[in-house]
Protein backbone atom coordinates (compact mmCIF):
# COMPACT_ATOMS: atom_id res chain seq x y z
CA UNK A 1 0.00 0.00 0.00
CA UNK A 2 2.81 2.38 0.86
CA UNK A 3 4.47 1.72 -2.51
CA UNK A 4 1.21 2.27 -4.35
CA UNK A 5 0.60 5.53 -2.46
CA UNK A 6 4.11 6.75 -3.29
CA UNK A 7 3.64 5.88 -6.96
CA UNK A 8 0.31 7.73 -7.00
CA UNK A 9 1.85 10.84 -5.45
CA UNK A 10 4.70 10.80 -8.02
CA UNK A 11 2.20 10.49 -10.86
CA UNK A 12 0.17 13.44 -9.57
CA UNK A 13 3.29 15.57 -9.21
CA UNK A 14 4.27 14.70 -12.78
CA UNK A 15 0.89 15.83 -14.08
CA UNK A 16 1.09 19.10 -12.16
CA UNK A 17 4.59 19.89 -13.49
CA UNK A 18 3.48 18.96 -17.00
CA UNK A 19 0.50 21.33 -16.84
CA UNK A 20 2.69 24.13 -15.51
CA UNK A 21 5.03 23.71 -18.46
CA UNK A 22 2.11 23.93 -20.90
CA UNK A 23 0.85 27.10 -19.26
CA UNK A 24 4.30 28.69 -19.55
CA UNK A 25 4.59 27.64 -23.18
CA UNK A 26 1.18 29.05 -24.03
CA UNK A 27 2.04 32.26 -22.24
CA UNK A 28 5.29 32.57 -24.17
CA UNK A 29 3.54 31.79 -27.45
CA UNK A 30 0.75 34.24 -26.78
CA UNK A 31 2.76 37.46 -26.97
CA UNK A 32 5.96 38.75 -28.44
CA UNK A 33 7.37 42.21 -27.88
CA UNK A 34 9.33 44.56 -30.09
CA UNK A 35 10.76 47.95 -29.23
CA UNK A 36 10.57 50.68 -31.86
CA UNK A 37 12.46 53.97 -31.71
CA UNK A 38 11.04 56.74 -33.89
CA UNK A 39 12.39 60.24 -34.37
CA UNK A 40 9.69 62.84 -35.01
CA UNK A 41 10.25 66.54 -35.19
CA UNK A 42 13.61 66.22 -33.44
CA UNK A 43 12.25 64.14 -30.56
CA UNK A 44 12.89 60.43 -30.06
CA UNK A 45 9.86 58.30 -29.24
CA UNK A 46 10.41 54.75 -28.01
CA UNK A 47 7.45 52.41 -27.98
CA UNK A 48 7.16 48.73 -27.09
CA UNK A 49 4.73 46.82 -29.27
CA UNK A 50 3.12 43.62 -28.06
CA UNK A 51 1.80 41.41 -30.82
CA UNK A 52 -0.85 38.91 -29.73
CA UNK A 53 -0.77 35.57 -31.48
CA UNK A 54 -3.84 34.07 -29.90
CA UNK A 55 -7.13 34.46 -31.72
CA UNK A 56 -9.58 36.07 -29.33
CA UNK A 57 -12.29 38.70 -29.62
CA UNK A 58 -10.79 42.16 -30.19
CA UNK A 59 -7.26 40.88 -30.76
CA UNK A 60 -5.22 40.48 -33.92
CA UNK A 61 -2.98 37.64 -34.96
CA UNK A 62 0.38 38.54 -36.46
CA UNK A 63 2.56 35.96 -38.13
CA UNK A 64 6.34 36.10 -38.26
CA UNK A 65 6.09 37.79 -41.65
CA UNK A 66 4.26 40.75 -40.04
CA UNK A 67 0.96 40.02 -41.73
CA UNK A 68 -1.93 40.88 -39.47
CA UNK A 69 -5.29 39.17 -39.66
CA UNK A 70 -8.28 39.21 -37.35
CA UNK A 71 -8.55 35.44 -37.35
CA UNK A 72 -11.92 35.52 -39.12
CA UNK A 73 -11.49 37.22 -42.50
CA UNK A 74 -10.05 34.95 -45.14
CA UNK A 75 -9.75 37.69 -47.76
CA UNK A 76 -11.76 38.27 -50.88
CA UNK A 77 -14.52 40.11 -49.01
CA UNK A 78 -15.51 42.97 -51.27
CA UNK A 79 -17.70 44.72 -48.72
CA UNK A 80 -17.14 48.47 -48.94
CA UNK A 81 -16.08 49.76 -45.51
CA UNK A 82 -16.88 53.31 -46.57
CA UNK A 83 -20.13 53.09 -48.50
CA UNK A 84 -22.45 56.00 -49.24
CA UNK A 85 -24.69 55.23 -46.29
CA UNK A 86 -25.30 58.03 -43.80
CA UNK A 87 -24.80 60.68 -46.44
CA UNK A 88 -21.44 59.40 -47.61
CA UNK A 89 -19.70 60.00 -44.29
CA UNK A 90 -17.19 57.56 -42.90
CA UNK A 91 -18.65 55.46 -40.06
CA UNK A 92 -16.14 55.80 -37.25
CA UNK A 93 -16.72 52.31 -35.88
CA UNK A 94 -16.41 50.45 -39.19
CA UNK A 95 -12.88 49.14 -39.64
CA UNK A 96 -13.60 46.27 -42.02
CA UNK A 97 -10.50 45.47 -44.07
CA UNK A 98 -9.58 42.44 -46.09
CA UNK A 99 -6.44 40.43 -45.45
CA UNK A 100 -4.36 42.29 -48.04
CA UNK A 101 -5.23 45.62 -46.40
CA UNK A 102 -4.19 44.22 -43.03
CA UNK A 103 -0.90 42.99 -44.49
CA UNK A 104 -0.07 46.42 -45.81
CA UNK A 105 -1.28 48.11 -42.65
CA UNK A 106 0.93 46.15 -40.25
CA UNK A 107 4.47 47.39 -41.06
CA UNK A 108 3.38 51.02 -41.38
CA UNK A 109 1.43 51.48 -38.18
CA UNK A 110 2.30 48.94 -35.51
CA UNK A 111 4.35 50.66 -32.82
CA UNK A 112 3.65 54.25 -33.92
CA UNK A 113 0.70 55.01 -31.69
CA UNK A 114 2.73 57.15 -29.27
CA UNK A 115 2.44 60.14 -31.62
CA UNK A 116 -0.10 62.74 -30.48
CA UNK A 117 -3.52 62.78 -32.12
CA UNK A 118 -4.68 66.17 -30.85
CA UNK A 119 -6.78 67.79 -33.59
CA UNK A 120 -5.37 70.97 -35.10
CA UNK A 121 -7.45 73.19 -37.37
CA UNK A 122 -5.15 74.88 -39.86
CA UNK A 123 -5.64 78.62 -40.09
CA UNK A 124 -3.54 81.71 -40.62
CA UNK A 125 -3.08 84.81 -38.51
CA UNK A 126 -2.54 88.26 -39.98
CA UNK A 127 1.14 88.63 -39.04
CA UNK A 128 3.52 88.55 -42.03
CA UNK A 129 7.27 88.55 -42.47
CA UNK A 130 9.37 90.84 -44.65
CA UNK A 131 8.56 88.70 -47.70
CA UNK A 132 4.81 89.09 -47.07
CA UNK A 133 4.55 85.44 -46.03
CA UNK A 134 2.20 84.55 -43.17
CA UNK A 135 4.34 83.95 -40.09
CA UNK A 136 2.15 80.99 -39.10
CA UNK A 137 2.96 79.28 -42.40
CA UNK A 138 6.69 79.95 -41.98
CA UNK A 139 6.64 78.34 -38.53
CA UNK A 140 4.54 75.38 -39.65
CA UNK A 141 6.85 74.71 -42.58
CA UNK A 142 9.67 74.17 -40.11
CA UNK A 143 7.63 72.43 -37.41
CA UNK A 144 6.13 69.72 -39.63
CA UNK A 145 8.87 69.19 -42.22
CA UNK A 146 9.63 65.72 -40.82
CA UNK A 147 6.23 64.62 -42.14
CA UNK A 148 6.85 65.98 -45.68
CA UNK A 149 4.11 68.57 -45.11
CA UNK A 150 4.35 71.91 -46.90
CA UNK A 151 2.80 75.29 -46.25
CA UNK A 152 4.90 77.52 -48.53
CA UNK A 153 6.51 77.47 -51.97
CA UNK A 154 10.13 78.20 -52.86
CA UNK A 155 11.24 81.79 -53.32
CA UNK A 156 9.75 83.31 -56.45
CA UNK A 157 7.13 80.56 -56.89
CA UNK A 158 3.39 80.44 -56.40
CA UNK A 159 1.80 77.00 -56.23
CA UNK A 160 -1.79 77.24 -57.42
CA UNK A 161 -4.19 74.64 -55.97
CA UNK A 162 -7.93 73.97 -56.15
CA UNK A 163 -10.07 71.80 -53.86
CA UNK A 164 -12.74 69.78 -55.65
CA UNK A 165 -15.37 68.39 -53.29
CA UNK A 166 -18.14 68.60 -55.86
CA UNK A 167 -18.67 70.12 -59.29
CA UNK A 168 -20.53 73.41 -59.41
CA UNK A 169 -20.18 74.18 -63.11
CA UNK A 170 -17.03 76.33 -63.11
CA UNK A 171 -14.10 73.90 -63.35
CA UNK A 172 -14.21 73.70 -67.14
CA UNK A 173 -13.90 77.50 -67.37
CA UNK A 174 -10.99 77.46 -64.92
CA UNK A 175 -9.27 74.77 -66.99
CA UNK A 176 -9.86 76.85 -70.14
CA UNK A 177 -8.12 79.83 -68.53
CA UNK A 178 -5.22 77.75 -67.24
CA UNK A 179 -4.72 76.32 -70.73
CA UNK A 180 -4.83 79.79 -72.24
CA UNK A 181 -2.24 81.08 -69.77
CA UNK A 182 -0.05 77.98 -70.00
CA UNK A 183 -0.29 77.34 -66.24
CA UNK A 184 -0.47 73.98 -64.49
CA UNK A 185 -2.30 73.63 -61.16
CA UNK A 186 -3.00 71.04 -58.48
CA UNK A 187 -6.58 69.75 -58.14
CA UNK A 188 -7.40 67.88 -54.93
CA UNK A 189 -10.33 65.53 -55.53
CA UNK A 190 -12.66 63.36 -53.47
CA UNK A 191 -14.36 60.13 -54.52
CA UNK A 192 -17.67 61.89 -55.04
CA UNK A 193 -16.05 64.35 -57.41
CA UNK A 194 -14.33 61.60 -59.39
CA UNK A 195 -17.59 59.66 -59.59
CA UNK A 196 -19.75 62.58 -60.74
CA UNK A 197 -17.26 64.47 -62.94
CA UNK A 198 -14.91 61.86 -64.43
CA UNK A 199 -14.59 63.79 -67.69
CA UNK A 200 -13.13 66.78 -65.82
CA UNK A 201 -10.69 64.60 -63.86
CA UNK A 202 -9.61 63.04 -67.15
CA UNK A 203 -9.15 66.50 -68.65
CA UNK A 204 -7.02 67.61 -65.68
CA UNK A 205 -4.73 64.65 -66.20
CA UNK A 206 -4.61 64.94 -69.99
CA UNK A 207 -3.75 68.65 -69.83
CA UNK A 208 -0.82 68.07 -67.49
CA UNK A 209 -2.25 69.22 -64.18
CA UNK A 210 -1.57 67.37 -60.93
CA UNK A 211 -4.44 65.51 -59.29
CA UNK A 212 -4.15 65.07 -55.52
CA UNK A 213 -5.88 62.95 -52.89
CA UNK A 214 -8.50 64.82 -50.83
CA UNK A 215 -9.78 61.55 -49.25
CA UNK A 216 -12.59 59.20 -50.22
CA UNK A 217 -15.36 60.63 -48.03
CA UNK A 218 -13.94 63.97 -46.78
CA UNK A 219 -13.81 63.05 -43.05
CA UNK A 220 -11.88 64.86 -40.36
CA UNK A 221 -8.96 62.43 -40.17
CA UNK A 222 -8.05 62.91 -36.49
CA UNK A 223 -11.52 61.54 -35.66
CA UNK A 224 -10.65 58.23 -37.33
CA UNK A 225 -8.58 55.30 -36.16
CA UNK A 226 -5.33 54.63 -38.00
CA UNK A 227 -6.97 51.76 -39.86
CA UNK A 228 -9.83 54.00 -40.95
CA UNK A 229 -7.33 56.61 -42.19
CA UNK A 230 -5.55 53.86 -44.12
CA UNK A 231 -8.80 52.56 -45.62
CA UNK A 232 -10.14 55.97 -46.65
CA UNK A 233 -6.96 57.35 -48.21
CA UNK A 234 -5.84 54.17 -49.98
CA UNK A 235 -9.35 53.48 -51.26
CA UNK A 236 -9.29 56.73 -53.25
CA UNK A 237 -5.69 56.08 -54.34
CA UNK A 238 -6.73 52.75 -55.81
CA UNK A 239 -9.93 54.10 -57.36
CA UNK A 240 -8.11 56.86 -59.26
CA UNK A 241 -5.43 54.39 -60.36
CA UNK A 242 -8.06 51.93 -61.61
CA UNK A 243 -10.35 54.47 -63.27
CA UNK A 244 -7.80 56.90 -64.72
CA UNK A 245 -4.48 55.04 -64.69
CA UNK A 246 -3.08 57.85 -62.55
CA UNK A 247 -1.11 57.53 -59.31
CA UNK A 248 -1.61 60.45 -56.94
CA UNK A 249 1.41 61.75 -55.03
CA UNK A 250 -0.03 64.75 -53.16
CA UNK A 251 -2.53 64.94 -50.32
CA UNK A 252 -4.66 67.63 -48.66
CA UNK A 253 -6.45 67.23 -45.34
CA UNK A 254 -10.21 67.80 -45.46
CA UNK A 255 -11.18 71.02 -43.69
CA UNK A 256 -7.51 71.57 -42.90
CA UNK A 257 -7.97 69.41 -39.78
CA UNK A 258 -4.96 67.28 -38.88
CA UNK A 259 -2.85 65.93 -36.05
CA UNK A 260 0.74 64.81 -35.75
CA UNK A 261 -0.44 61.20 -35.88
CA UNK A 262 -2.44 61.70 -39.08
CA UNK A 263 0.44 63.63 -40.64
CA UNK A 264 2.57 60.60 -39.88
CA UNK A 265 -0.12 58.27 -41.24
CA UNK A 266 -0.26 60.11 -44.57
CA UNK A 267 3.52 60.34 -44.76
CA UNK A 268 3.80 56.57 -44.21
CA UNK A 269 1.45 56.07 -47.14
CA UNK A 270 4.05 57.76 -49.35
CA UNK A 271 2.12 61.00 -49.90
CA UNK A 272 3.33 64.59 -49.67
CA UNK A 273 0.91 66.89 -47.85
CA UNK A 274 0.12 70.37 -49.13
CA UNK A 275 -1.60 72.85 -46.84
CA UNK A 276 -1.79 76.51 -47.90
CA UNK A 277 -0.49 79.97 -47.05
CA UNK A 278 -3.49 81.77 -48.56
CA UNK A 279 -7.20 81.04 -48.66
CA UNK A 280 -10.35 83.09 -48.39
CA UNK A 281 -14.05 82.33 -47.89
CA UNK A 282 -14.68 81.24 -51.48
CA UNK A 283 -16.35 77.92 -50.64
CA UNK A 284 -19.60 79.49 -49.45
CA UNK A 285 -21.71 79.50 -52.60
CA UNK A 286 -24.61 81.14 -50.77
CA UNK A 287 -22.58 84.33 -50.43
CA UNK A 288 -21.12 85.51 -53.72
CA UNK A 289 -17.82 87.28 -53.25
CA UNK A 290 -17.41 90.49 -55.19
CA UNK A 291 -14.74 89.91 -57.87
CA UNK A 292 -13.00 93.21 -57.19
CA UNK A 293 -12.87 92.47 -53.46
CA UNK A 294 -11.51 88.95 -54.02
CA UNK A 295 -8.91 90.23 -56.47
CA UNK A 296 -7.76 92.87 -53.98
CA UNK A 297 -7.36 90.25 -51.23
CA UNK A 298 -5.28 88.00 -53.46
CA UNK A 299 -3.08 90.81 -54.71
CA UNK A 300 -2.48 92.13 -51.20
CA UNK A 301 -1.38 88.69 -50.00
CA UNK A 302 0.99 87.93 -52.88
CA UNK A 303 4.02 85.96 -51.69
CA UNK A 304 5.95 82.77 -52.44
CA UNK A 305 3.33 80.38 -51.17
CA UNK A 306 0.61 77.80 -51.72
CA UNK A 307 -2.71 79.33 -52.77
CA UNK A 308 -5.94 77.47 -52.09
CA UNK A 309 -8.93 78.36 -54.23
CA UNK A 310 -12.20 76.45 -54.50
CA UNK A 311 -13.47 75.68 -57.97
CA UNK A 312 -17.10 75.93 -56.80
CA UNK A 313 -16.68 79.71 -56.76
CA UNK A 314 -17.97 81.63 -59.78
CA UNK A 315 -15.81 84.55 -58.67
CA UNK A 316 -12.64 82.48 -58.87
CA UNK A 317 -13.53 81.38 -62.38
CA UNK A 318 -13.96 85.03 -63.36
CA UNK A 319 -10.76 86.43 -61.88
CA UNK A 320 -8.22 83.61 -62.21
CA UNK A 321 -6.80 84.89 -65.50
CA UNK A 322 -6.31 88.39 -64.08
CA UNK A 323 -4.71 86.94 -60.94
CA UNK A 324 -2.20 84.92 -62.97
CA UNK A 325 -1.29 87.97 -65.05
CA UNK A 326 -0.76 90.04 -61.89
CA UNK A 327 1.46 87.43 -60.26
CA UNK A 328 3.58 87.14 -63.36
CA UNK A 329 3.89 90.91 -63.58
CA UNK A 330 5.27 90.82 -60.03
CA UNK A 331 7.94 88.36 -61.16
CA UNK A 332 6.49 85.13 -59.80
CA UNK A 333 6.53 81.73 -61.50
CA UNK A 334 2.99 80.34 -61.29
CA UNK A 335 2.31 76.61 -61.50
CA UNK A 336 1.91 73.33 -59.66
CA UNK A 337 5.47 73.09 -58.34
CA UNK A 338 6.81 74.01 -54.93
pLDDT, tens digit, 9 for 90 and up, residues 66-115: 222 223 333 333 333 333 323 333 333 333 444 445 545 555 554 455 78
Domain boundary among 82, 109, 136: 109
Helix (H, G, I), strand (E, B) or coil at 104: helix
Give dist(CA 92, CA 90) in Å, integer. 6
- Quote the pTM value: 0.69
Residue 334's Cβ-side half-sphere holds a number of Cα atoms within 13 Å equal to 22
222 and 298 co-located in one domain: yes
Enzyme catalytic residues: 163, 310
Q: CA of 4: how far to CAs of 8, 9, 14, in Å?
A: 6, 9, 15
Cβ contacts of 172-177, under 8 Å, gap ≥ 24? 172/200, 172/203, 173/317, 174/311, 174/316, 174/317, 174/320, 175/200, 175/203, 175/204, 175/207, 175/209, 177/317, 177/320, 177/321, 177/324
User: Per the structure, how many domains does the chain have?
Assistant: 2
94 and 136 co-located in one domain: no
73 and 146 co-located in one domain: no
The answer to whether residue 9 sits within a structural domain is no
Question: Residue 306 is part of which domain span?
Answer: 128-335
39 and 135 co-located in one domain: no
81 and 188 co-located in one domain: no
96 and 145 co-located in one domain: no
The answer to whether residue 314 sits within a structural domain is yes
CATH label of the domain that carries residue 214:
3.20.20.370
- pLDDT computed for residue 316 by the predictor: 93
Mean pLDDT of the chain: 76
The answer to whether residue 17 sits within a structural domain is no
For 165-209, write each residue's pLDDT tens digit: 999 999 999 999 999 999 999 999 999 999 999 999 999 999 999
The answer to whether residue 156 sits within a structural domain is yes
Q: Is the pLDDT of residue 285 over 50?
A: yes
Q: Is the pLDDT of residue 283 over 80?
A: no
Confidence of residue 329 (pLDDT cuts 50, 70, 90): very high
268 and 134 co-located in one domain: yes
The answer to whether residue 269 sits within a structural domain is yes
Evaluate whether 237 touches 247 at the Cβ level (below 8 Å): yes
Structure letter (DSSP) for residue 318: H
Weakest-pLDDT range from 21-25, 111-115, 134-138, 227-231? 21-25
φ, ψ of residue 204 to 5 degrees: the values are -55, -50
The answer to whether residue 278 sits within a structural domain is yes
The answer to whether residue 10 sits within a structural domain is no
For residues 270-290, average pLDDT: 88
51 and 133 co-located in one domain: no
Length of the chain, in residues: 338
The answer to whether residue 119 sits within a structural domain is no
195 and 159 co-located in one domain: yes
For 146-159, write each residue's pLDDT tens digit: 999 999 999 999 99
Amino acid sequence: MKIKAALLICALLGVIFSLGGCVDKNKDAGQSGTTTTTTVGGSTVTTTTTVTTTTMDGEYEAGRDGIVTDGTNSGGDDEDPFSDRDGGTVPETDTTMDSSDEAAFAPSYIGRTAIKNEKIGWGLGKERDRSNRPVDAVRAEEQYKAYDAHFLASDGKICLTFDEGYENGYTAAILDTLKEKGVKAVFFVTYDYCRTAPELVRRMIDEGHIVGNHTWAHPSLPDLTQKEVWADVTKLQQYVLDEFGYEMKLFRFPKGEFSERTLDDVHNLGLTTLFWSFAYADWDTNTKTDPAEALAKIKDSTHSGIYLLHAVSETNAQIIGTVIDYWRDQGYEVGADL
